[in-house]
Structure 1
Amino acid sequence: MRKRFGSIAVVLLLLMYLVVGCTSNTASKGIYISIATGGTAGTYYPLGGALAKIFNDNIDGVNANVQSTGASVENVGLISKGEAEIAFIQNDITYYATTGTEAFEGKEKVTNLRGMAMIYPELVQIIATEESGIKTVEDLKGKKVAIGAPGSGVEANARQVLAVHGMTYDDLGKADYLSFNEAADQLKNKQIDAAFLTAGIPTSAVTEVGQTSKIVVVPIASDKISKLSEAYPFYTEVVIPADTYSGQSQDITTAAVMAMLVVSDKLEDDLVYNLTKEMFEKRQVIIDTHSRGNDLKLETALKGMPIELHPGAKRYYDEKGIK
């Protein structure tokens, strides 16, 4: 009888060991990371795929997947609700979310966003049809202009750019709240005179419009960009190089915000350290996936950072002497 109980006890102990061992093993290998990006035709999505590959191939226990989303504003919500661990967000949208301004005005400030890295500039592009006669921002007065979808980052950019030129939507002939694709289509069909678009260059939608219509890329003067930066620290001055688009024979000065990677403050420091480290050490994977990967550089990783860095990312930058 004693032998039987002794055998049963041994079996139970072995079962407990196996259960605990399996649970422990599952925990160590079950770090699921959802990367919130944008539409499948945009830039965020392929970059997110490259990140997922780097993380899955190089960090033990990480299972990363890419989530196609409505981009920046939606991604803020996904991180804040714990439905994504990493997200691509424009730095102006991140700023608004954490300060409770613009699209987030009247809402509770989002406090769980932490910075991981700045990636590439998203340029404020003002594209006009040649026949509209628009050559400057001031020429938009009295014209039909697409200003972005309601509550979008593009719409905020349009309003802020007009403001530093002493203008409001009332000065336009008509302010059309159109999405990215709608604006491109209406430019092609001559239903609008100009459109504000905020994206990396070359923007495929603009390139397509330029194939069927003569377009003008409208500059924003340096002194106006300085005023923008004083009011909104996330803006920087950039140049759209000559020949980026059909018929564009010279460099065009404009303002830009930055695409950035944001992580949840719930992620462990060591994990974010490793994610950041592998991202930079294996960045060739990102470059091979999309040309914007060339813009991901250690020396510019903190330029325009609008929020507190995640401690894990900060540790990596400190080791590399990046401030």
Structure 2
Amino acid sequence: MRRLARPFLIASLPVCLSLATTLEAREIELPRTMAWTAYGTNSSGYAQAVAIGGMLQKEYGTSVRVLPGDNDVSRMTPLKNGRVQLCACGIASYYGAEGVLMFANRDWGPQPLRVLTTSSATFALSLAVAGDLGVKTPEDLKGKRIAYIRGDDALNKGTEAFLAFGGLTWDDVTRVDYPGYARSFDGIIAGDVDASFTTTVTPPAQQLASSPRGVTWPVLDPNDEAGWQRMKAVAPYFQPLKATSGAGGISPDTPVDSASYPYPIVVANADLDDNTAYGLVKALQDNYDSYKNSAPGAAGYAADNQDMTWVVPFHDAVVEYYKEIGTWTDEMQAHQDQLIKRQNLLLDTWKTFTAGDTPDDEEAFAAAWMKTRAAALTEAGFTPVFE
């Protein structure tokens, strides 16, 4: 089914094209069937994907099959293998694009990923700190016992970023290892550890808030430029956020200055059909009112919630859409060009690296790749971020 494009403007983004130069609107052309991967069936990401699928079925006759994945690799493998067109992923999509952490192995390496859209919510991603310690800012975490979750790179990187905001590292705190995320919160309640990384709305944070220890969230001053620079040097995907929902009394009346990054991040491979990429992003905006209340967090897909200068490049057809509606700026294009240049450099470096002699041992392989990767990025004037 096809629908003619309707005029649409994003009020909060600067208009870079005059009406005389705005591109002619295209029709929406979507395939009859689409397959996505997403988080598990009890996640908000899965519920959002299903809600979007319902809208696409109703408005365009497109049937969407959503495949739940238990972990980052299981969600991204079908995308890599071409079994699905899209992944409603988490921040691991950025790690995949960079070829780091769980993707720094011979089966993966950097992936040619492109963003179609993201969802931004009202909750923060932060360190939940026991409320009986008097912690007010990340600096106050010095000497505290901080949870480290074995096998969860995203959570541990988030913790490292919050410590960096306060000018701290793991050497400034007592690291307490846990086999799983939920166990770390049991540890806080039991008095065995003091903080663990999470979202402000997650059930474990609510449980901590109801416990005798209570919960507090370190405040990130949005005007602390040095703090934000340190944080972004560790994890450049974090963005300032005034959280208005969460455990411990966070609300629109009592917000907390904190940080967040989009979830889900809907990504595809760079070679996704242009009509599909363009059609999806346009359909999401044209029909926003019909699905925004259909699942928790679905309102986060609003056009003015999209960060057009983030850390993963957008699909070319998505750029075309934002040019069409007159909101794509020269600054955005320059940023996009640099991200694509970085991605192509990583892909070329990986190709050369894997064509040569590489260690058989997986840890040695990853170490050699990370060294080669960092050298190539540095030589080209990019910051490696991960070393």
For Structure 1 versus Structure 2, the TM-score category normalised by the shorter chain is: 0.7 to 0.9
Question: Helix, strand or coil for the counterpart of 1:82?
Answer: coil
Match of 2:248 in 1: 246
1:35 equivalent to 2:36? Answer yes
The match for 2:318 among 292, 295, 313 is 313
Instruction: Check the 8 A contact 1:72/1:89 in 2, yes or no.
Output: yes
Alpha-carbon distance, 1:196 to partner:
1.1
Amino acid at match of 2:292: I
1: CA distance between counterparts of 2:139 and 2:303?
Answer: 38
Instruction: Check the 8 A contact 1:71/1:89 in 2, yes or no.
Output: no
Instruction: Check the 8 A contact 2:278/2:317 in 1, yes or no.
Output: yes
Amino acid at match of 2:228: I
Question: Helix, strand or coil for the counterpart of 1:218?
Answer: coil
Question: Helix, strand or coil for the counterpart of 2:84?
Answer: coil
1:293 equivalent to 2:298? Answer yes
Alpha-carbon distance, 1:29 to partner:
10
More helix by percentage? 1
Cα 1:314–1:66 change in 2 (3 A) is: same
Select between 47-56 and 117-126 the one with higher mean Cα deviation.
117-126
Question: Helix, strand or coil for the counterpart of 2:155?
Answer: helix
Unpaired segments ≥5 residues, structure 1? 1-27
The match for 2:308 among 299, 303, 311 is 303
Question: Helix, strand or coil for the counterpart of 1:131?
Answer: coil
2: CA distance between counterparts of 1:211 and 1:308?
Answer: 41
Amino acid at match of 1:229: K
Match of 1:68 in 2: 68
Q: Which structure would you say has the larger Rg?
A: 1
1:282 equivalent to 2:283? Answer no
2: CA distance between counterparts of 1:192 and 1:231?
Answer: 23
- Counterparts of 1:38-117 in structure 2, within 5 Å, are 38-60=39-61, 62-70=62-70, 72-90=72-90, 92-105=91-104, 108-117=108-117
Instruction: Check the 8 A contact 1:50/1:285 in 2, yes or no.
Output: no
Instruction: Check the 8 A contact 1:116/1:261 in 2, yes or no.
Output: yes
Instruction: Check the 8 A contact 1:115/1:309 in 2, yes or no.
Output: yes
Match of 1:236 in 2: 239
Amino acid at match of 1:246: G
Alpha-carbon distance, 1:64 to partner:
0.8
1:182-232: CA deviation from partner (whole Å, max 9, x where unpaired): 3333334444221111x3x53343223323342112223442123323564
Amino acid at match of 1:161: F
Amino acid at match of 2:155: V
Alpha-carbon distance, 1:127 to partner:
1.1
Instruction: Check the 8 A contact 2:137/2:166 in 1, yes or no.
Output: no
1:102-150: CA deviation from partner (whole Å, max 9, x where unpaired): 4434555333312101211573211122234433323333333223442
**How much is the aligned-residue C-alpha RMSD, in angstroms?**
2.9
1:258 equivalent to 2:259? Answer no
Alpha-carbon distance, 1:291 to partner:
4.1
Alpha-carbon distance, 1:263 to partner:
1.7
2: CA distance between counterparts of 1:110 and 1:82?
Answer: 16
Cα 1:309–1:41 change in 2 (3 A) is: same
Cα 1:149–1:252 change in 2 (3 A) is: farther
2: CA distance between counterparts of 1:103 and 1:159?
Answer: 17
TM-score by length of 2: 0.66
Amino acid at match of 1:142: G
Amino acid at match of 1:289: S
1:161 equivalent to 2:162? Answer yes
1: CA distance between counterparts of 2:75 and 2:89?
Answer: 7
Instruction: Check the 8 A contact 1:94/1:306 in 2, yes or no.
Output: no
1: CA distance between counterparts of 2:319 and 2:138?
Answer: 40
